[in-house]
């Protein structure tokens, strides 16, 4: 299979061939037309004076070739260089921030056609990035503003005074809760930003995956016990080679999500098993909560997207986006199945990685600061 460098060299040579062919066609056409015109004029006896001076004939032929070649170049360039002119205009509009520009499609497999296809692809990607950036800013501004308004409003009420002890305590609890929400949102955004700038995860070690899942369940014990939710762990004993600090964010978010959307006296199952056929480890978190419709299921991993707007105050919509990115960095995959009113199942599949094999694949990259993630 040809390397990227070899492909670039082929493209370079191909473009050179087009230029050489263009120049050859112009020169051949100019020379041929000059010879034909000279023979026509000679037939009418209009060039007999030129033959008197031996060096005058080649000079006249050269000048006629230059003039005819220039005229042919003007007409042919207008046709052949039209795509390049459109490309120049398109690039100028892109630099001005207009990512909606598209070049007319040229059929065939020529280099000019490929350049136009690459330009249109670039423009589409830039447009999608711009739309995502604007959407991210708008969503973040809205999510950030909501708790800030609450903190400001209740702080003003406390400053005015005239409240009972119970009201003061309630307002203080709300301020603390909203402040913690802002802290969590900022932390999640910083963590997600770090993860999106990484290609692989470093600081890997061998650890007990089933024990980490148990610890994650116990960490959230206050939340599921307060709703009298039964948590059933069905965990095989499995050692995994990875970064436990980063993977813990996956388990806490998925299990925490299940607790959030499961009602009183509900049930959550956390499963862990090894799949020999595909050499994968499956982690399943299943609940019998409110479930999701098909639209929500498709968008659940988007930043700031929240499945239930009525519960928006309890989250930021960043957790599952972070989960998906971590799983991708682990070369794994995640999927969700859900039905409205019948619960949700999250499946995380992690490849079985041997420590020696993983060491061979390592590349020098900027490591994730795992100490900051704890």
Query: What pLDDT is attached to residue 311?
Result: 43
pLDDT class of 212 with cuts at 50, 70, 90 = very high
- Locate 16 and state its tokens: 């050179």
Contact 65, 34 (CB under 8 A): yes
Is residue 7 predicted with pLDDT exceeding 50?
yes
* CATH, range 205-373: 3.30.565.10
Among 49-53, 60-64, 85-89, 228-232, top mean pLDDT goes to: 228-232
Query: Residue ranges per domain, the chain?
Result: 4-126, 144-196, 205-373
User: pLDDT tens digits, residue range 237-250?
Assistant: 999 998 888 898 89
Tell me what the mean pLDDT of segment 148-174 comes to: 86
Is residue 192 predicted with pLDDT exceeding 80?
no
DSSP assignment of 188-228 equals: HHHHHHHHHT-SS--S-EEEEHHHHHHHHHHHTHHHHHHTT
pLDDT class of 298 with cuts at 50, 70, 90 = confident
Query: What pLDDT is attached to residue 317?
Result: 64
Q: Region of 117 please: left (phi>0), alpha (psi -120 to 50) or beta.
A: alpha
Is residue 364 predicted with pLDDT exceeding 50?
no
Query: What pLDDT is attached to residue 358?
Result: 52
**10-37 as b/e: b if 16+ CB within 10 A:** eeeeeeeeeeeeeeeebeebbeebbeee
- CA–CA separation, 81 and 323 (whole Å): 49
Contact 266, 287 (CB under 8 A): yes
Helix axes 82-95, 111-160, angle to 10 degrees: 10
Tell me the C-alpha to C-alpha distance, in Å, between residue 249 and each of 89, 177, 180.
Answer: 47, 21, 17
pLDDT class of 282 with cuts at 50, 70, 90 = very high
- CA–CA separation, 363 and 200 (whole Å): 9
- CA–CA separation, 181 and 318 (whole Å): 12
- CA–CA separation, 140 and 297 (whole Å): 21
User: pLDDT tens digits, residue range 13-70?
Assistant: 555 666 666 677 667 776 777 777 666 666 666 555 555 555 555 666 667 767 776 7
Query: What pLDDT is attached to residue 211?
Result: 94
Q: Which residue matches tokens 């499995």?
A: 238
Query: What pLDDT is attached to residue 269?
Result: 94
- CA–CA separation, 156 and 158 (whole Å): 5
pLDDT class of 255 with cuts at 50, 70, 90 = very high
- CA–CA separation, 354 and 93 (whole Å): 50
The dihedral formed by the CA atoms of 189, 192, 198 and 200, expressed in degrees to the nearest 10? 150
Q: What are phi and psi of 284, to 5 degrees?
A: -120, 130
User: pLDDT tens digits, residue range 311-325?
Assistant: 444 555 677 888 888
Query: What pLDDT is attached to residue 363?
Result: 42
Query: What pLDDT is attached to residue 272?
Result: 94
Contact 235, 214 (CB under 8 A): yes
Query: What pLDDT is attached to residue 193?
Result: 67
* Degrees, nearest 5: CA angle 196-260-141: 50
Query: What pLDDT is attached to residue 368?
Result: 37
Query: What pLDDT is attached to residue 344?
Result: 92
Tell me what the mean pLDDT of segment 256-266 comes to: 90
If DSSP codes are grouped into helix, strand and coil, which group holds residue 305?
coil
- Locate 87 and state its tokens: 């490309």
- CA–CA separation, 65 and 27 (whole Å): 8
Q: What is the mean pLDDT of the chain?
A: 76
Tell me what the mean pLDDT of segment 263-274 comes to: 92
């Amino acid at each position: 299979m040809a390397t990227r460098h070899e492909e670039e060299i082929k493209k370079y040579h191909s473009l050179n061939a087009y230029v050489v062919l263009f120049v050859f066609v112009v020169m051949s056409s100019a020379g041929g037309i000059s010879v034909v015109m000279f023979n026509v004029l000679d037939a009418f006896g209009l060039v007999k004076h030129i033959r008197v001076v031996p060096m005058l004939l080649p000079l006249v032929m050269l000048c006629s070739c230059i003039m005819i070649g220039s005229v042919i170049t003007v007409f042919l360039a207008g046709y052949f260089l039209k795509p390049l002119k459109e490309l120049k205009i398109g690039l100028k509009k892109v630099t001005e921030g207009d990512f909606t520009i598209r070049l007319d499609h040229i059929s065939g497999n020529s280099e000019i056609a490929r350049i136009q296809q690459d330009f249109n692809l670039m423009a589409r990607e830039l447009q999608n990035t711009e739309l995502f950036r604007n959407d991210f800013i708008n969503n973040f501004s809205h999510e950030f503003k909501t708790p800030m308004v609450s903190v400001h409003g209740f702080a003003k009420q406390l400053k005015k005074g005239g409240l009972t002890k119970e009201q003061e305590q309630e307002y203080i609890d709300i301020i603390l809760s909203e402040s913690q929400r802002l802290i969590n949102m900022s932390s999640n955004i910083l963590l997600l930003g770090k993860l999106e700038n990484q290609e692989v995860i470093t600081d890997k070690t061998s650890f007990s995956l089933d024990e980490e899942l148990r610890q994650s369940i116990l960490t959230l014990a206050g939340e599921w016990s307060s709703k009298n939710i039964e948590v059933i762990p069905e965990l095989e004993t499995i050692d995994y080679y990875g970064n436990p600090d980063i993977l813990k964010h996956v388990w806490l978010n998925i299990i925490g999500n299940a607790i959030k959307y499961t009602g009183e006296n509900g049930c959550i199952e956390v499963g862990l098993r090894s799949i020999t056929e595909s050499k994968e480890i499956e982690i399943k978190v299943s609940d019998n909560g409110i479930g999701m419709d098909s639209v929500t299921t498709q968008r659940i991993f988007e930043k700031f997207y929240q499945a239930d707007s009525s519960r928006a105050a309890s989250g930021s919509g960043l957790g599952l986006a972070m989960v998906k990115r971590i799983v991708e960095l682990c070369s794994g995959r995640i999927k969700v199945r859900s039905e409205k009113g019948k619960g949700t199942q999250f499946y995380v599949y992690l490849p079985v990685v041997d420590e020696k094999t993983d060491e061979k694949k390592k590349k020098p990259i900027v490591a994730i600061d795992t100490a900051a993630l704890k």
